[in-house]
């Protein structure tokens, strides 16, 4: 199952041509149990199907009441909750769960166009927020980032991908023992990528976490910053670590070790 999911993930990620030997892969791709609370049946089915294809286990609730019942009784790794739901508003489901001490990561979906929608969404207890319509790749990247979250709370001071090492304490980056000087923002960018090593990170996620801006960048702002970073960490080395995932974003990983 894990192998199939892995292959599927890479195929979706646009890395079809790369041969991956499952055992040689240093990253861990966990299977997550995800609950989708969404009243639009077609959107929910599509989402469930796509998440299953990515190797996860998915349950679906079509209204706020049912969603709350499921979330409160079964252990999930991530909840994907739409804001506008019949019977019970998505945000009230989330805040009730939080009030009961349930800290399952929640991704809030919303079709509302309010200026500070995100703020209300996050204030109610959501961990991340995605406006509709979204790209599935964006949603998957965020769900997987949320699912990984608890493990990251054990503070890591050093990130390693291949021979690339980032030391959070001394703020230094080296590859193959060779120091690479980075600008503060480039350091932050690499830090976030390495924190999510092996996972797809979208442009919007980078803009949110590295620059703390929440909107859809219109030009290739992020691409330009990535290509500068790539010029520093990949250019003089024969094996690239920072990969572009077409139609999704970027990932940092050591593929052919």
Partner 1 sequence: MTSLGKLFRTTAFKLALIYLAALTLASGAVIVYLSQNTASLLHEQVVETVDAEISGLAERYRTGGIRGLVATIDARARQPGASLYLVTDFAGNVLAGNVEGLGERVFSGESGELQRVSYAPFGGGAKREAFVRVFQLSGGFRLLVGRDLREHQFFRDLLSEAMRFWLFVIAALGLVTWVFVSRRVLKRIDAMSATGQRIMQGDLSERLPVDGSGDEFDRLAVSLNAMLERIEALMQGLKEVSDNIAHDLKTPLTRMRNRLEEAMRQGGEGAPSDDALSRTIEDCDGLIRTFDALLRIARIEAGSSDAALVDLDAGELVAEVAELYAPVVEDAGGSLTVEAASGLGLHGNRELLVQAVINLIENALKYGTPEGADPLKVTLAVARTGDEVRLSVRDHGPGIGEADRTRAVQRFVRLEASRNLPGSGLGLSLVNAVARLHGGRLVLEDAAPGLRAALELPLGKAKAGKQGNEGGVGDGG
Residues that bind partner 1 (CB under 8 A): 11-12, 40, 42-43, 46-47, 49-50, 53, 84, 111-117, 119-120, 131-137, 183-185, 188, 211-216, 218-221, 224-225, 228, 247
Q: How far is the CB of 100 from partner 1 (least distance, A)?
A: 28
Q: How many CA atoms lie within 13 A of 11 on its CB side?
A: 10
Q: Are 235 and 228 in contact (CB under 8 A)?
A: no
> Which of 125, 162 has the CB closer to partner 1?
125
> Which of 66, 221 has the CB closer to partner 1?
221
> Token pair 């690479």 is at which residue?
180
> Which of 16, 151 has the CB closer to partner 1?
16
How far is Cα 67 from Cα 74, in angstroms, rounded to an integer? 11
How far is Cα 95 from Cα 100, in angstroms, rounded to an integer? 9
Q: How far is the CB of 162 from partner 1 (least distance, A)?
A: 25
> Which of 104, 204 has the CB closer to partner 1?
204
Q: What is the dihedral of CA 4, 256, 158, 148, to 10 degrees?
A: -10
Q: How far is the CB of 195 from partner 1 (least distance, A)?
A: 16
Q: How far is the CB of 72 from partner 1 (least distance, A)?
A: 27
Q: What is the 3-state secondary structure (H, E, C) of 32-52?
A: CEEEEECCCHHHHHHHHHHHH
């Amino acid at each position: 199952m894990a192998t199939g999911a892995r292959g599927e993930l890479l195929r979706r990620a646009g890395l079809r041509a790369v041969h991956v030997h499952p055992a040689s892969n240093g990253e861990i791709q966990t299977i997550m149990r995800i609950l989708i609370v969404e009243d639009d049946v077609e959107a929910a089915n599509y989402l469930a199907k796509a998440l299953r294809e990515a190797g996860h286990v998915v349950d679906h609730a079509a209204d706020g009441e049912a969603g709350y019942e499921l979330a409160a009784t079964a252990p999930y790794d991530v909840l994907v909750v739409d804001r506008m739901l019949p019977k019970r508003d998505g945000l009230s489901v989330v805040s009730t769960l939080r009030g009961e001490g349930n800290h399952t990561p929640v991704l809030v979906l919303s079709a509302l166009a309010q200026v500070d929608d995100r703020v209300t969404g996050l204030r109610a207890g959501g961990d991340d927020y995605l406006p509709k319509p979204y790209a599935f790749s964006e949603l998957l990247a965020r769900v997987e980032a949320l699912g990984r979250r608890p493990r990251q709370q054990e503070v890591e001071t050093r990130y390693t991908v291949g021979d690339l090492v980032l030391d959070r304490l001394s703020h230094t980056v080296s590859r193959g023992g060779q120091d690479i000087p980075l600008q503060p923002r480039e350091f932050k960018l690499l830090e976030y990528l390495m924190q999510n090593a092996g996972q797809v990170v979208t442009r919007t996620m980078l803009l949110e976490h590295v620059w703390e801006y929440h909107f859809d960048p219109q030009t290739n702002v992020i691409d330009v910053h990535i290509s500068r970073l790539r010029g520093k960490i990949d250019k003089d080395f024969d094996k690239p670590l920072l990969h572009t995932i077409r139609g999704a974003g970027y990932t940092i990983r050591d593929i052919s070790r």
